[in-house]
Structure 1
Amino acid sequence: MAGLTGRERFTIIAQPDLIEQEESTLARELAWILSSLQDTLQSLKAGLEECAALLAPSEPGSTLVLSSLRSENLKGFITRVGTRIVKGDIQLRLPSVPVPRGQPSYKLSISTQPTAPTLAFEQLTTTRTLINACLDVVDATRWTGDATNADFISGQIRLLHENIQEAKAALKGWTPSQKLWYDDPVDPAAFTPALPANVSFHLCISEAAVLLHVRTLEATNSNTGTSTPLPVTTAAGLVPAPSYSGFSIRDRLAGVLGGGKQIVHDEAHEVFVYKGQEVRVKEKVRVESQDPSLMAAMAKLGALERNVALARRALDVVMGRDGEEG
C-alpha cells in the first residue's frame, strides 16, 4: 500500500464489501423504479381511459362516407356508434345486381327495426375488451398487489404490455383470429329489403379505417367447374340472376385477336365455401373510409405500447433479466 496515492488507497475495497455495496445499490435502484412505476401506471390509466372513450358507444357516433374510387359502383354512408353500425344507405351499380325498374341503382339500407340483427365490428369488441382488461390490470397493480414485490410488478407490466399490443393489432387488422368474409356472412335481415342471396357484404377494420367489400357471387358446380348465378332477392321477389358464365362479345373478340379474358379483381379464379356452398366471386368492390376516432385510438395505443415497453425493459435490467425473453 506504500506506493499508492491517497485516492488509489481510498478506492480499493475488499471483495465482500464490494459485493455488499453493489447489492445495496441495486436494491435502491429497484426500489426507486418500483416507486416510479406507480406514477407510470397512473399515466397509463389516463391514456387507456382516453382510448376507451374514443371507442365508447356515444351518440351521434361517426358517420363515414363510402365511395368507390374512379367509378360509380358504390356510393353511400354508414354511421358507427361504438362497435355497431346503426344506420347506413349504400347505392350499388354492378352488372350482376339487377336494378329495380325506375331506379338508378340498387339500394342497400341498414335496417333500423328493433328486431333486426345487429351489424357489429368484432375487432372493435375485441379492442374494447382488451382495453378494459388493461384498466383492470392497472388497478390491480396499484391497489391490490404488493408494490414492492418486483416479480409481481414485472408480471403485471408484462400482462399490460401484451394486452395493449393485442388491442392495437385488432385495430390494425388482419390478425390470425380475424374471420374472413366467407366465414363471416352477415344476416340478410340486417338490411331493408333483405340482402340479395348473391351479394356478400363484409365490413372490417384495417389500419384503423373501415373497410367494406361487396362481392357478387355465383354458385360453382364442383363436378364440371361451371358457374351458376345465385338468385337475387328484389322488391318483386326472388328472380334468377343474369348469367355471366359465358364469354361476352368483347371477350370473344379479345380471344380472336389473341388477348385473354380480362381479370377485374384478385379473386376471379378462386373458389370459396360460402354458407355451405362453393361459389366464385363474379364482381368485387373495395371501399375504405378513414375513421378519425379509430385512428386516434390506435395512435394512443401505439404511444402506450412504447411507454410500457420502456418501463418493462428498465425493470428487467435492474432485476438482472436484460436480454431475456418473456
Structure 2
Amino acid sequence: MSVEIWPRIAPEELKVAIRESEERELGWLVQELHETLTNLKHGLEDCYALLAPIDPGSTLVLSTPRNEIVKGTITRVGTRIVKGTIHLRLRTLPQQTISINPNHPIHLGPLTTLHTLLTHSIDLLNLTLSYSYPTESSPTLDKNTSSPQFLSAQLRLLSQSFTESLAILKGPPLLNSDPSWTSRSAAPSHFIPPLTIPSNSSHNQSSHPCLSFHLTIQDSSLVLWLRTLEPAHAPVHFSTKLALAIGTARRLEHDEAERVFGYCCTGGDSTGLPHIHNSNHDPNIPLAPVLSGTRRKEVEVYVREKVRVESADPSLMSLTAKLTALTHTLSLARRNLAAVMGEEMED
C-alpha cells in the first residue's frame, strides 16, 4: 500500500510542508508537557514531605523473629534517628539495654543524600518551568533556554536524579556484604551509656567484644546491623583456646567470620578519618565527612557475631511507590519528546 498526496505537491514544497508539520507537532507537545511537568513538581513535593522533619516522626519496631535477640523501638524524624531503646540478648555480649541519646541523634547518610536529591529535583523542575514556559512577569530569557533541546536536556538530568533516588531506597544487594559499616557505624556518643570501641593499645586489649551499630536503607526499610567486634591482636585466654580445641565452644558462623576488617568508628561525629572503600562499594552511600579535629585510627578487628534486623518504614515505602510512578511518567514524556524531535533516548 502506498500513500499519495492529492493534488500533487512538488518535492521541494513537500519537504517544507513536512518540516512545518513537524514543528507544529513539536510545539503542541512542548505545550502539553507543561501540565506533565507541573504534576511532576507536585508529586515531588509530596515525596519531599515524606522526609520532612515533622514531629512526632515515625516510630519503628526492631525485633528479630522468633528468638527476640534484638527487641526495641526507634523513632525517625526526617533523616535522623532521634530516640530509641533496644534490648540486646546477643550470644557474645552480656544482656544489656542501650538507648539513643536524644541530644545526639543519629544521622542516616542514605536519607540525607536522598533529601539532597529531592531538593535538587524540585529546584530543577522550577527552573525548567520558569525558563521553558515564561509568564508575562518573567524576565526576558534567551531563546535557547526555551527551546525543545533545552527541555530535553533538563528532563534527562531530572531522570538521572530520579534513578539515583530510587537506587538509594533500593539499597545495596542483600547477598553482597556492605563494607560501609567499617566507617559508618554510629559513634559511641550517640548512646546512653556510650558504647565501648576496640583499641589497638596493648593496655586496653581485651577478649571482651565491642558493639558496632550500623543503620542503612534496603528495599524501603530501615535495616540495623549489629556486629560484636574483637581486636584481631587481642590475647585469647587459655580456657577459651582449650574450649575451642576440644569442641565445647565454637565460633559463630557467618559470612564475615575469621576475616580481619579495618574498623574506624567515625559515625556521625564527623571527626574521624573515613574508611577507603573498595570498588564494590555502593556509590549511593556517602562516606563520612572529614572535619578538623582528632582523627581516629583504624583498628583491625574480627566480627564474632552478626545480626540483621529489618523494620519496614511506611513513609519510605510510600515514597518509593510515588517516586516509581513519577519516574514512569517522566520516562514516557521523554520518550514522546525524543520521538518527535527524531532523537535517540538514552536509557
TM-score (norm 2): 0.76
| Cα RMSD for the two superposed structures | 2.6
**In the alignment, does 2:346 pair up with 1:318?**
no
Please give the alpha-carbon distance, in whole angstroms, between the structure 2 residues aligned to 1:88 and 1:243.
Answer: 39
* Residue identity matched to 1:271: V
Residue number in structure 2 paired with 1:277: 299
Identity rate of aligned residues, in percent? 42
SS of the residue corresponding to residue 192 of structure 2 reads coil
Offset, 1:202? 0.3
* Residue identity matched to 1:286: R
Residue number in structure 2 paired with 1:246: 241
**In the alignment, does 2:48 pair up with 1:52?**
yes
SS of the residue corresponding to residue 289 of structure 1 reads strand
Please give the alpha-carbon distance, in whole angstroms, between the structure 2 residues aligned to 1:130 and 1:262.
Answer: 43
CA contact (8 A) 2:225 2:309 kept: yes
Question: For residues 165-204 of structure 1, what are the alpha-carbon distances to aligned partners after superposition, in whole Å with 9 as ceiling and x for unaligned?
Answer: 11111111129xx871002132101100001321000001
SS of the residue corresponding to residue 241 of structure 2 reads coil
CA shift in 2, pair 1:9/1:317, >3 Å: closer
* Residue identity matched to 2:218: S
SS of the residue corresponding to residue 66 of structure 2 reads coil
CA contact (8 A) 2:230 2:301 kept: yes
Question: For residues 222-272 of structure 1, what are the alpha-carbon distances to aligned partners after superposition, in whole Å with 9 as ceiling and x for unaligned?
Answer: xxxxx547xxxxxxxxxxxx89963647x73489xxxxx675322113221
Please give the alpha-carbon distance, in whole angstroms, between the structure 2 residues aligned to 1:218 and 1:126.
Answer: 32
**In the alignment, does 2:127 pair up with 1:106?**
no
SS of the residue corresponding to residue 69 of structure 1 reads coil
CA shift in 2, pair 1:24/1:180, >3 Å: same
CA contact (8 A) 1:218 1:228 kept: no
User: Which of 9, 32, 38 in structure 2 is aligned with 1:36?
Assistant: 32
CA shift in 2, pair 1:159/1:243, >3 Å: farther
Rg bigger for which structure? 1
Residue number in structure 2 paired with 1:239: none
User: Which of 229, 232, 235 in structure 2 is aligned with 1:220?
Assistant: 232
Offset, 1:307? 0.8
User: Which of 222, 228, 232 in structure 2 is aligned with 1:210?
Assistant: 222
CA contact (8 A) 1:109 1:191 kept: yes
CA contact (8 A) 1:85 1:118 kept: yes
Question: For residues 265-289 of structure 1, what are the alpha-carbon distances to aligned partners after superposition, in whole Å with 9 as ceiling and x for unaligned?
Answer: 2211322100211111001110000
CA contact (8 A) 1:91 1:106 kept: yes
Residue number in structure 1 paired with 2:10: 14
CA shift in 2, pair 1:41/1:8, >3 Å: closer
CA contact (8 A) 1:90 1:108 kept: yes
CA shift in 2, pair 1:245/1:157, >3 Å: farther
SS of the residue corresponding to residue 194 of structure 1 reads coil
SS of the residue corresponding to residue 246 of structure 1 reads helix
CA contact (8 A) 1:86 1:119 kept: yes
SS of the residue corresponding to residue 49 of structure 1 reads helix
Please give the alpha-carbon distance, in whole angstroms, between the structure 1 residues aligned to 2:216 and 2:322.
Answer: 20
Residue number in structure 2 paired with 1:286: 308
CA shift in 2, pair 1:265/1:179, >3 Å: closer
SS of the residue corresponding to residue 6 of structure 2 reads helix
Extract structure 1 runs of 4+ deviating beyond 4 A. 145-148, 242-245
Offset, 1:57? 0.6
CA contact (8 A) 1:215 1:283 kept: yes
- Name stretches of at least 5 consecutive residues in structure 1 with no aligned partner: 1-6, 99-104, 222-226, 230-241, 256-260
Please give the alpha-carbon distance, in whole angstroms, between the structure 1 residues aligned to 2:38 and 2:324.
Answer: 17
Alignment of 1:1-326 (within 5 A): 10=6, 12-98=8-94, 105-112=95-102, 114=103, 117-145=104-132, 148-174=146-172, 180-197=180-197, 198-221=210-233, 228=235, 246=241, 248=243, 252-253=246-247, 263-275=252-264, 276-322=298-344, 324-325=345-346
